[in-house]
Structure formats: C-alpha cells, structure tokens
Structure 1
C-alpha cells in the first residue's frame, strides 16, 4: 500500500522512533537524542525533543522556516533491550549512510515484526533466572529447583494477564501473590527447605530493577521530571509486590 505524505513525514518518523525507544524501556534522554539526531541527519538543524516516561514532544523548523511539532503518548512499556539496540543501530546508520525517510520507516516496520525469542523460551529463561537468583541469595539446591517452578508459574501467569490487558499494577499484585502461594506450596510438599530464599529468588523476576536504574540515570542526566516519574513507578511496583505477597501470608496465617 502506498504511504501518504503524513506517514512519510520526517518529524513523525523521528517521533515514532523515539516512542519505540521509550516503549522498550529506554531512557528519556536516549529517546530525545534519537529524535534530534534523525532530524539533523535529514537536514533539519533546528530540532528539539522533550520526553517523559509517558509521552514525548518533538519539533523542527522546516525548510520553509515554519515551526512544526508532534506529540506522542506512551501507553505501554516493556523491557526489550534488543529492540533498543536495533533502534540505536538504525539511527547511527541513518546518520552515517544518509538513509531516506522511507527506508527508516521500512526498518521500523521490520523491527516491530521481530520476535527474537518465543514465549516458551522467555518463560524458561525467567524460570532459570529464578533458580540462579535463589542460589545467589544462598539458597540450597532444593530451594533453587523450587524457585525454578515458581518462576515458571509467575511468568506464565504474567503472559496470560498481559494478553487480557490487565493494568501493570494489578499484574504485579497477582504476580507477588503467585510467588508467595507457590513458594509455600513447594515448602509444604517438601521440595524446598527455606521459604524466604525461594520467595526472594522467584520474586526477583518482578522487581523493578531497570526502572530504578533508569530513574537514577535520568536524574543524573538532568531529566528530573523523568527521573522522579520512573522512581515513583518503581516504588509503586515494589508496593504492589508487597501487597500481593503480604495478602497471601495474611490469608494463610
């Protein structure tokens, strides 16, 4: 299908690239930098961008000396470092090889369609992470094996809830409850030895580590609004975990 002028607008394509950076869990300064670099690569030297974790604004002064702006809302955020790397590479290529707007748009569509890991592999990797986290926190081999199965349950339910478009806060509460419930179950059937080690190892899948790091990096970079927003998100996520796990322990006391 032939693209319209608006769909091939350099400012819109640059903003869409920045939006994808934020949706993949990238820092706000990275999204701003990507937008400005793309606009300048296409000859718009007067380009500005402002991003927060929930939205971005970009503007340019075009060749007719008219000021134009575009706004994009960020409604979903995941952790996808592979996508961030691919987008960074695309922007560098656009700068170095003078790639056209049409080619960048095609690359964006290609990146959107990439799924480097299947759902089964992702769930298995999450379970394996729980196993090694438990060992890291000095749990026994039996605790680690139990955490492996708890991690399987957490990640599987997370995928199901995401497919039903549950809010992240509710998903995290349920994830914390599942972690506590399955950890107690593994202890009751004699699979694990230490309840605390199993819970800690498995619940690490839901701990907002990247959000906390990005909050610190954004704050250091001078993006105080973005830093505070990300830190608030991390605190709310941690509270949701505590609510979910605490509710299970209160009910089973």
Structure 2
C-alpha cells in the first residue's frame, strides 16, 4: 500500500483509538474513522469497533489491502478529548487540514492534559455538596458532603499517582469505604444532621454516569455487545462502591454495637 494511504489509515485508526480510550460511543468511533479516511481519499474503509478494541480493514484504488487491530482497555471518560477529536474530524472533512497538519493536531490532542488535581478535588467537593442539597440536606450537611468529596478525591489523586496501576474495583471499594467513613465521622463530630444524605451526596462523584449513558446509547444504535460491556463495567463500579460502603458499616457496627442510619 502507498505510503500516503497508509498514513491516512494510521491517522484514522489513531483518532478512533483516542476516542474509544476517552469513553466515546462505538458508533461515534466508527463514523469518525470513516469520515477521516474518506476525506483523504480512502473510499473502501471498514472499521469494526468493540468496547475494548478496533479492527480496521481498507482497500485503495490499486486493490492493495490495509489491516490493523488495536486493543484499548476500558478507561474513565475524558470528554475533552472526545470533543477535540470530533472537532478535528469535522474540520478535516471541510478541508481545513492537510494530512501532515492533521497528524500534528492529533498528536497535540493525544497529549492534552486533564484537569489539574486541585481542580478535580474542588469540583468533587462542590458536586457532593450540591447533590446533598438536592436530596434535602441542610447547610451543615452540605458542608460535610463538600469536605467528604474533597477528601475522597484527594485520596483518589494519591492512588492515581502510584507507579503500579490499581484495579478499578479496588479504587471504587476504597472510595465507597472512605465516603461512608467521612459521613459517620462528620456526623459524630456534630457537623451535619443527616449522615445518609451526606453519604449519598459525597458518593455521587464515583457514580459512573457517563459509562451508563453511553451503554444506553450503544444499545439504541444496535451495538448490543458494546453496550453490554459498558453496562457491565458500570455495574462493576457500582458493586465496588457498594462493597466499600457495606464494609465500613459492618466494621462500624462491630466496633460500636449499633447502627447509625
């Protein structure tokens, strides 16, 4: 296959890989690969995307075949990268980029940093306090949920810095344990009157909302395998959170001989 055609298909594959790694829906990944390939002159392009991998075959005008397979483990959502690749693909179709310029732009998107840890920590606190308010919590409950969310994401940020990657189930189990522990501690310290509302508010940053929505969208598009995998992933996250919360309250009951909720 010609060097130019191979570069086009490598670019399309890399764009799809970034999207899938960032938590994009399967139909979005397939459309983006096809859109970029056709914009640069590759008409016969057949991407097959699953939740954890991309299979791409294509044929140029001379009948030469291109085939590539990439394995992409399920990761957390990175919506800023999804938006950036979407915008790039549309600008490619409009003819705003040459192949070399598109490669440079995609490399920039691939290395885009996420939000700083401090921003994520404060956002988790604000989200926790807001959900606590929506559940009927008072100001002291909101403040306790805010502190719980801040402490939760501070701990998760420390775990994320570990050289060896921690299992997603373990991370969510630790998160569920911590938020329930913080809810009990703040309640016992007199900061808040509704430990249940504090707990539910502060656990919201852990809830896999994006994965669940994407699973439903994949189901709606007929991608039942992909939707099922994403739904199972969201279910495993919820299981990890539940195990952490349940473990903490079992320990609390064993140590104090009473229940709090």
Please indicate the TM-score interval, normalised by the length of the shorter structure: over 0.9
Select which of 98, 101, 105 maps to 1:100. 98
The CA RMSD over aligned residues, in Å, is 1.5
- For 1:240 and 1:124, locate their aligned partners in 2 and report how far apart those are by CA, in whole Å: 23
- For 1:249 and 1:34, locate their aligned partners in 2 and report how far apart those are by CA, in whole Å: 47
- For 2:17 and 2:111, locate their aligned partners in 1 and report how far apart those are by CA, in whole Å: 16
Partner residue, 1:237: 237
- 1:92-146: CA deviation from partner (whole Å, max 9, x where unpaired): 0011115222211111121133336322112111110001010011111111100
Q: TM-score, normalised by structure 1?
A: 0.94
State the shift of 1:172 in Å.
0.7
State the shift of 1:167 in Å.
1.4
1:22–1:74 Cα contact (<8 Å) kept? yes
Partner residue, 1:15: 13
Q: Does 1:37 align with 2:29?
A: no
- For 2:154 and 2:58, locate their aligned partners in 1 and report how far apart those are by CA, in whole Å: 44
Partner residue, 2:59: 61
Q: TM-score, normalised by structure 2?
A: 0.91
State the shift of 1:199 in Å.
0.5
State the shift of 1:64 in Å.
2.1
Secondary structure of 1:192's match?
coil
Stretch moving more, 89-98 or 59-68: 59-68
State the shift of 1:244 in Å.
0.5
2:51–2:74 Cα contact (<8 Å) kept? no
2:77–2:211 Cα contact (<8 Å) kept? no
- For 2:96 and 2:194, locate their aligned partners in 1 and report how far apart those are by CA, in whole Å: 58
Partner residue, 2:132: 134
1:42–1:98 Cα contact (<8 Å) kept? no
- 1:51-74: CA deviation from partner (whole Å, max 9, x where unpaired): 122111112112321221111111
State the shift of 1:24 in Å.
1.2
Aligned residues: 248
Partner residue, 1:209: 209
- For 1:162 and 1:169, locate their aligned partners in 2 and report how far apart those are by CA, in whole Å: 14
- For 1:126 and 1:109, locate their aligned partners in 2 and report how far apart those are by CA, in whole Å: 29
- 1:178-216: CA deviation from partner (whole Å, max 9, x where unpaired): 111111111111111111000100101111111111111
- For 2:34 and 2:233, locate their aligned partners in 1 and report how far apart those are by CA, in whole Å: 27
- For 2:62 and 2:96, locate their aligned partners in 1 and report how far apart those are by CA, in whole Å: 21
